[in-house]
Amino acid sequence: MQLATSSVEFGFNNNMYRQIDGVAMGSPLGPALANIFVGHQEEKLFSFANRPLAYFRYVDDTFAVFNNEDDCNAFLSHRNSLHPSLRFAHEREFNHSLPFLDVLVERLGSEFSTSVYRKPTFTGQYLRWNSFSAHKRKINLNQDTHCAFS
């Protein structure tokens, strides 16, 4: 995979650039290569570190449950030592809840409840009206649409 992610040249705004390490933003290969790379690091991680009580991953976002804070810190430290290009941060639950991607996970005793999570800055707008985008697209995004599934 290193051949696809080291010293790759690309053009933008009539200029040529060289991506020293990693995949250029917006590259269609980006998500797939990131998923493969993190999955490979994950295999190495679980061959040495204890598995959390629960573990879910979407590309480079993970949700993990531990017995205690020391186990969490040890896991994070080991995970961050695997590769110099990977640095993971963590969030702890607050009031028995933790957002993960677009899901709010709430802990109810020994069970979890989930609901749609919206960031505090969520406005409900998908596209600003004064943005540089086709008028038809703006109209279509701002219309109420209802879908029925059976």
pTM beyond cutoff 0.85 = no
Which of 71, 46, 66 is closest to 54 using CA atoms?
66
The pLDDT value recorded for residue 6 is 63
Q: Which residues contact 134 (CB under 8 A, 6 or more apart)?
A: none
Q: What ranges do the domains of the chain cover?
A: 94-144
Find the mean pLDDT for residues 133-142. 77
Contact 86, 92 (CB under 8 A): no
Greater confidence (98 vs 129) lies with: 98
